[in-house]
Chain A
């Protein structure tokens, strides 16, 4: 009765069992670490990253109609849109558009509120900066969109 536990204790059966599992993962094919700057992760389509303001590809005009819905939907109130009605075209046009990236939590509510697909959260995730300067994006920066840095080997 008490012999088996004793033998298991002497021959360290439980430890050997555990080591068998760990040694099973020793071959290099089992390595799962991503060598980040050289090897980029796959980003899926619905990922919410750096924002971009889309413009009409044919005319180059901004798709934003200054409806202010994104600014109203944002829980952190970090979007400020100012517009003016153009008397010639009778359309509202953007005067200033700022997006404070430092306060954004990428919840995607602004993107959902946008009625014209102007505001889009892109798949770019490399937004780290060394200082707070440049974290408030203006219209030009938003329309340029993310410019991912390339790292040479």
Chain B
């Protein structure tokens, strides 16, 4: 193991402080651009960033510990509270992991409904990302447009499962709610209305000179570093690595659908923006195919009322909007899990921050935090 020499030493007093060569600055936890309660300690030379250190844990609620004292079905609503911007994806990952442990599979209709809602959730999550990221960089208009259009997705969620944000949409073994009357039409209507809106976002940003200047060449992450740091999701794909769990390890019914995995070339903030925009288009494609092919049949597999999985452990991961979301569950054949460990995408992606911002300016740190698309509820759990 090589000794890390450039480590940020915050305890020793800086003798050269009066010469003002180096300055340690706290960014956050109460900072609107850190998307929650992230504290970044910046070591600066003027405006230039020499190093960063993230301090996390301000939103720690001990979700993994709570799981040890709840039954499998009871823990389901808690996972929505980790990545609260993409609650449906969290629920899907958890339900699938327990299903894998129980060795059951959701019926086809349930799988299709799950895919539709998860892809809608991906769109909603990316809309929040785009709105807040653009706001950080100085474009306020996309925020209003994104939240206006996200409302349509949330309405579909509310009609389907009765909640807008922390949805608790799926249950272990399938779905508990049948698609409501007009579900297909609502999804199709949303898809038709959303694509022109997406073009509008692009018109506002893609060629906008301020946007391009602020994002192009900022926070470059090369593919080797991405893989070494364990970065997943759009951040990894923007660096040119074609890795998407929906294609690599198809879960649910993703192998039935025809879609592309967008990848970037340079791995900078602008590429990550383009990749996410294209991902929204692909999500619309998947939703259209799933709605057209929605099979009839039951929506719940045969699952015992009291879930008691056999002794064993399981790891299951899905492609959440932010990257690979994994659940590791250890069962001791009781009604409560012995241990649940969550592999959240935001937490792992956040580690790339230091690599990305070294040598950049303070204002670029804001852009890089935005482009990583972190949700602190998921980082701290």
Seen from chain A, the residues whose Cβ lies within 8 Å of a Cβ on chain B are 9, 14-15, 17-18, 20-22, 32, 44-48, 73-75, 105-109, 112, 121
Contact = CB atoms under 8 A, between A and B. Distances in A.
B163 interface: yes
B162 A44 contact: yes
B60 to A, nearest CB: 18
Interface in B178-208: 180, 200, 203-204, 207-208
B119 to A, nearest CB: 20
Contacts of A21: 141, 200, 203-204
Contact of B77 (A15, A17, A20, A105): A105
B163 A106 contact: yes
A22 B74 contact: no
Given A18-B141, A45-B159, A73-B73, 7 more contacts: A21-B141, A21-B204, A22-B141, A44-B159, A44-B162, A107-B77, A112-B176
Given A47-B162, A75-B70, A18 B208 contact: yes
A22 B180 CA distance: 35
Given A15-B208, A47-B158, A47-B162, A75 B200 contact: no
Contact of B78 (A9, A15, A32, A75): A75
Given A14-B208, A21-B200, A44-B158, A75 B74 contact: yes
B73 A32 contact: no
Given A107-B77, A109-B77, A18 B162 contact: no
B209 interface: yes
B70 A14 contact: no
Nearest to B200: A21
Closest CB pairs A-B (n = 7) = A107-B77, A46-B162, A75-B74, A48-B162, A44-B159, A18-B204, A14-B207
A15 B158 contact: no
Interface residues of B, number: 29
B207 A17 contact: yes
A22 B143 CA distance: 12
Contacts of A109: 73-74, 77
Interface in B118-167: 141, 148, 151, 155, 158-163, 166
Contacts of B176: 112
Contacts of A73: 73-74
Contacts, number: 61
B251 interface: no
B75 interface: yes
B323 to A, nearest CB: 26
A75 B72 CA distance: 10
Given A15-B208, A18-B208, A107-B168, A48 B163 contact: yes
Contacts of B257: none
B171 to A, nearest CB: 9
Contacts of A17: 203, 207
Interface in B283-326: none
Contacts of A74: 74
A106 B87 CA distance: 14
Nearest to B211: A14
B118 to A, nearest CB: 19
Contacts of B155: 44
B161 A46 contact: yes
Contacts of B200: 21
A106 B81 CA distance: 12
Contacts of B347: none
Contacts of A44: 155, 158-159, 162
15 contacts: A9-B209, A14-B207, A14-B209, A18-B203, A20-B203, A21-B203, A22-B141, A32-B148, A32-B151, A45-B180, A48-B163, A75-B78, A105-B77, A108-B162, A112-B176
B177 interface: yes
A16 to B, nearest CB: 11
A22 B74 CA distance: 46
B186 to A, nearest CB: 11
B22 to A, nearest CB: 38
Contacts of A45: 159, 180
A46 B208 contact: no
